[in-house]
Amino acid sequence: MQNTPAGDRRVALLTLGCARNEVDSEELAARLASDGWRVSTDAADADVVLVNTCGFVASAKQDSIDTLLAAADTGAKVVATGCMAERYGRELANSLPEADAVLGFDHYPDMSARLSEVLDGRTIESHVPRDRRTLLPLTPVERRTADVVVPGHLTVDEHTPAHLRGVLRRRLDSGPVASLKLASGCDRRCAFCAIPSFRGAFVSRTPDEILAEAEWLARSGVRELVLVSENSTSYGKDLGDPRLLEKLLPQLAAVDGIVRVRASYLQPAETRPGLVEVIATTPGVAPYFDLSFQHASEPVLRRMRRFGSTERFLDLLASARALDSEVGARSNFIVGFPGETRADVDELVRFLEAARLDAVGVFAYSDEDGTEAATLPGKVRSDTIRRRYQKVTDLVEQLCAQRAEDRVGSTVEVLVDSIEGDEIEGRAAHQAPEVDGSTTLVDGGLDLATLRPGDLVAARVTGSSGVDLVAVPEKVLSPAARRDG
C-alpha cells in the first residue's frame, strides 16, 4: 500500500458516539477530500481507516476499542482520533498497538498530511493529553481570538464573510436530517462528567457561520436541522448575548428548504422563559425539550454540582406545556451516584411519574477518570446500583410507553426519514433521531407510494408500541424536492 498516488489514497471514516462527533467527521471528510483522498465509510476497501472515537463512558470506550481492533483486521492502516484519542493519547497508543497512530484534536487541520505519513510507514508521536479548558481564556468573550483548534469550528477562510466562503464539511450520508454544531465545550463543572477536560471550555460559533452552513445543508437536501453542542443553552454568552439562541432559532427555521429545527442538549438551570416560548411556539421549530435533568433529588443534584429539584423541573415542563400541550420532552438520569439513598431514588421515581416524558435514558453510575465524583465518599455498592438501574429502567419503559399511547388519536407532523420496500419510517416533532423512537406510516390516507424521504406530512396516530407510533398520513405539508431521474 506504500507509494500510492495521493489521488488514489482511500480513507474510511468510522464515527462513534454522539452527533457532535458526526459533525467533526464531516469536517475531516471535507479536509481529506480537498486534498485528493477518496473518502467513504466502508472500511473493507480502504488504505487507512480513521476511527473517530468516543470517550464518554466505559461502554462507549469499549465500543471504540472494538471498532479499532476490527479495522485492524481489514489489513488497512488504522488511526484513532476523536474524544477517546484526545483524552488518553499516548496511554491509548501504548495499550493498543493495533492502531498505527493516535491523533488528537490539534492534528485536525493537518489530518491529510498525518494520514499520508502513516500510509508511508512513518511513525507519528502520539500527543500527551492536557486539560483543554486551560487553553482558552477564562473570560468567555475573549475566547474568539485564541489560536486553539476546536473541531467543528474551523473555516476555509476566516477573513471572508461566512455567506461567501465555502463550508468546511462533506456529508457522509444523504438522509434528510443533519446535525449542525452550535458550540463546543462546556464551562459547567458537573462532578460526574469528564467531557470539558478533553473538549475544552465553551465556545460558540457565530450566527453567520451557522446560518451559512444551514443554507448549504438545505441545498444538499437536508430538511431537518438538529442543533448540537455540549450545552446549547449557553450559546451566545461568549458573543455578548446570552439570548442569542432565541434569536437564531427563528432565523434557521426560515432557511429555504428547512422544515424543522430541533434544539438539543438544554441545561435546565439555563433554560429561560424566553427560550421556552420560542421553542414551544415558533413555526418550524420542533416543540421539543431535550433537558439534561440527571436526577430529581435535590441532595444528589447538589453533590453532582447541579441545580434543580422535582418541583423546579416540573414547573419548567409545565411552563412549556402551557404554551403547547403536545410538546415533547426527554431527559437522561444517573442512578447510583455516590451518596444516593433509597429516599433519593424514591424522589426520582416521584418526579418520573409526574413528568410525562416521551423518552428517557438511564445510566448506572460508574467512576470516570479525572472526575470529582470518582473521589467522593459514600460509594453505592455495585449490586445496589444494578437493582436501582433495573427498577428505574423498568419504570421509564412503562411510563414512556404510556406517554406514546396517550398520543393515539392526535395528529402529528412526521418527517419521512426512510422508505424500504413497504416500510415507511419517520419521526414526529417529539422524536429526535436515533434516541426517541420513530413513527411508522401505514395505509389508510394518502397513497404511500407518493411519499419520499424528506416529505413532511400530517398524520393521525392510530397505535403505539413502546415509544414508537403508528400513524396514517393524511396530508403532505411540505414535499421534499424530487430528484428522480
C-alpha dihedral sign at 160, 161, 166, 169 = positive
The CA angle 213-218-220, to the nearest 5 degrees, is 100
Segments of 182-272 assigned E as strands: 183-184, 203-204, 224-228, 260-263
Residues 6+ apart with CB under 8 A from 261: 224, 225, 227, 249, 252, 253, 284, 285, 286
The CA angle 7-13-16, to the nearest 5 degrees, is 170
In angstroms, the CA 187 to CA 201 distance is 5
Q: Are 262 and 215 in contact (CB under 8 A)?
A: no
Sheet holding 10-15, edge to edge: 38-40, 10-15, 48-53, 77-81, 101-102
In angstroms, the CA 385 to CA 367 distance is 12
Residue carrying the nine cell digits 454522539:
18
- A 10 A CB-CB count for 315 gives 11
Residues 6+ apart with CB under 8 A from 66: none
What DSSP state is assigned to residue 97?
T
Q: Known binding site for [4Fe-4S] cluster: residues?
A: 18, 54, 83, 186, 190, 193
In angstroms, the CA 71 to CA 79 distance is 9
Strands 260-263 and 423-427: unpaired
In angstroms, the CA 58 to CA 439 distance is 31
3-class secondary-structure state, position 360: strand
Residue carrying the nine cell digits 498516488:
5
Q: Known binding site: residues?
A: 18, 54, 83, 186, 190, 193
Residues 6+ apart with CB under 8 A from 78: 48, 49, 51, 68, 71, 72, 98, 99, 100
Residue 53, Cβ density class (10 Å: 0-12 exposed, 13-18 middle, ≥19 buried): buried
Which grid cell is 414? 412526521
Dihedral, 281, 286, 292, 295 alpha carbons, nearest 10: 80
In angstroms, the CA 395 to CA 60 distance is 24
368, amino acid identity: E
How far lies 407's CA from each of 5, 95, 171, 284, 470, in Å?
A: 57, 50, 34, 21, 10
